[in-house]
Structure 1
Amino acid sequence: MSRIIDLTSPLDPHDLDLVPPDMPDLALVIAPKIDYHTHDAWGREFMVASFGCDPDDLPAREGPAGEVMHEISTHCGTHVDAPLHSGRLCEGRPSRTISDIALDELYRPGMVLDVRPWARPGEAIPVEALEQAVKANGRDIQDGDAILIRTGQERYRLGEPEYFDYPGMSGAGTRYLTGRGATILGTDAIGWDRPIPRMRRAFQETGDAGHIWDGHYAIQDKEALIVQQLVNLGALPPTGFMVGFFPLKLTGTSASPTRAVAFLPE
């Protein structure tokens, strides 16, 4: 038997009201818009039209409830990025899509790297911090591991400025993890890289294109799947558990919303 820990952030359309006005594109990765159809309006009309019945023929004069989601991104909420998201080529070959990835690749031994002592708002997590977190974990990264980065973002709620100014990963940090065998890279932050305003400022100040989305671009060199917007990492042990990521079975996409679940031995 296993104890199950849900690592998935909820998709609540009310959260769209918390997206900063100057960051409207974030709405697509926070939650979808949802039209809620009720039993006593849409549902009743649907049953009357479908069966040619009278509303009084229905129990409590009710039909089914239903919802319609729209303006939902494949990168909405807790989601898995396929290699295609980072570029057309990965390791010199056409990048794989979500539908190219087998479920057994998404059910892997998990390891939490607690980098909270080194994480700074908006800054890249140093490779040295990752090395120290691995040492503190008690075992090395192994081939096929799912590495879950705990940055401490659980302290902040959606809508707070700190939520959007999260610590991120650099290209060097990403390559450190994939170079040691990790095939899934997860974070409790809204994004894997540093926030776009931070990367943009660094690029404009230095002219160094290496500041542009370098964490994601690193996947072109060595394949891995990136998972963002994880929650409850504080409920997990450093290692000794399995973690599964179960995306929607979409065809040919660069990402998919996923249910992320950790399985802890009793």
Structure 2
Amino acid sequence: MRLIDLSSTVDARLWEPEPVTHTVMSAVEGAVHMTDGMRKNFGIDLSPDAFPGGEFLTNDMLYLSTHTGTHVDAPAHYGTRPDGEAARTIDEMPLDWFDRPAFVLDVRDVGRSTVDAEDLHKALDRIGYAPQPLDIALINTGASAWAGTKRYFTEFIGLDGSATRYLLDLGIRVIGTDAFSLDAPFGDIITRYRESLDRSVLWPAHFAGREQEYCQIERLANLDALPEPYGFSVTCFPVKIARAGAGWTRAVARVAE
């Protein structure tokens, strides 16, 4: 099997709406940190020079959102279920949702900021694929070309409520996108709401998850590297963070040679 990395990189040098802080402890600093700890906690007086080259181990401290980089949103991210019960968090999701056959739908030419159920139906017809329950659906919007810039967070294509429900009704439980959000851009949503006062335009893709449980993978990358629109599988296990609404993932496609 050939492995294709579908993940975007977490990089504190790139622009994010919630900035990432990345502090590196060098190997030299690690030696000082370790010997100070040994002295304070165990009474052992050891010089950093005791380690080869005066170096111990590096360490990295990061401050970032669970929605930075490629990540999986759990149902808890979308809010409380209609029955009043709390939705499942990322550590509670079944692992078999995240290692499945997958297919990719190209919506880059729709010419709008949102796609609907009819758009997805046509995209499936074009590739001649019949999704199976628990397949992973990937949406190629072309947005990953702008990753790391402000444009990435303001210009992309999202799913409307009908498109999201269309996939869920096919038995899909994991929907991925290369865009910042599965919904339309924030500015687009606000503009349409101001014009219509229609509450159904407010983050319909996310809120569909209150009615039918599913997970999103947001901020994928490299979807153009997939040689065919189906016939491959995706592994995207989320990091197990207790009580969290999302967890980072290293999404990888497996393609038969």
Same fold (TM > 0.5): yes
Alignment of 1:106-145 (within 5 A): 106-120=98-112, 123-145=113-135
Provide the alpha-carbon RMSD of the alignment.
1.7
Tell me the SS of whatever aligns to 1:241.
strand
Determine whether 1:88 maps to 2:80.
Answer: yes
- Give the Cα–Cα distance (whole angstroms) in 2 for the partners of residues 191 and 148 of structure 1: 13
The one-letter amino acid paired with 2:47 is D
The one-letter amino acid paired with 1:48 is T
The one-letter amino acid paired with 1:265 is A
Per-residue deviation at 1:94? 3.5
The one-letter amino acid paired with 1:130 is L
When residues 8 and 65 of structure 1 are mapped into structure 2, their CA distance, relative to the original with a 3 A threshold, is same
The one-letter amino acid paired with 1:44 is A
Per-residue deviation at 1:164? 2.4
When residues 74 and 160 of structure 1 are mapped into structure 2, their CA distance, relative to the original with a 3 A threshold, is closer
Per-residue deviation at 1:97? 1.1
**Structure 2 counterpart of 1:102, from 87, 94, 104:** 94
When residues 76 and 221 of structure 1 are mapped into structure 2, their CA distance, relative to the original with a 3 A threshold, is same
Alignment of 1:102-251 (within 5 A): 102-120=94-112, 123-159=113-149, 161=151, 164-236=154-226, 237-251=228-242
Per-residue deviation at 1:162? 5.6
Unaligned segments of structure 2, at least 5 residues: 39-43
Percent of pairs with identical residues: 34
Matched-pair contact (CA < 8 Å) for 2:90–2:242:
yes
Determine whether 1:38 maps to 2:26.
Answer: yes
Matched-pair contact (CA < 8 Å) for 1:119–1:151:
no
When residues 37 and 180 of structure 1 are mapped into structure 2, their CA distance, relative to the original with a 3 A threshold, is same
Equivalenced residue count is: 250
Per-residue deviation at 1:34? 1.1
Per-residue deviation at 1:156? 2.6
- Give the Cα–Cα distance (whole angstroms) in 1 for the partners of residues 211 and 219 of structure 2: 24
Matched-pair contact (CA < 8 Å) for 2:154–2:186:
no
Determine whether 1:12 maps to 2:11.
Answer: yes
Tell me the SS of whatever aligns to 2:126.
helix
When residues 108 and 193 of structure 1 are mapped into structure 2, their CA distance, relative to the original with a 3 A threshold, is same
The one-letter amino acid paired with 1:187 is T
When residues 91 and 114 of structure 1 are mapped into structure 2, their CA distance, relative to the original with a 3 A threshold, is farther
For 1:183-228, what per-residue CA distance to the aligned partner results, in whole angstroms no more than 9, with x for missing partners?
Answer: 1100010111011111111111211111111111011222211110
User: What's the TM-score, normalizing by structure 2?
Assistant: 0.91
The one-letter amino acid paired with 2:21 is K
The one-letter amino acid paired with 1:260 is A
Of stretches 91-100 and 218-227 in structure 1, the one that deviates more from structure 2 is 91-100
When residues 163 and 86 of structure 1 are mapped into structure 2, their CA distance, relative to the original with a 3 A threshold, is closer
The one-letter amino acid paired with 1:8 is S
Matched-pair contact (CA < 8 Å) for 1:91–1:222:
no
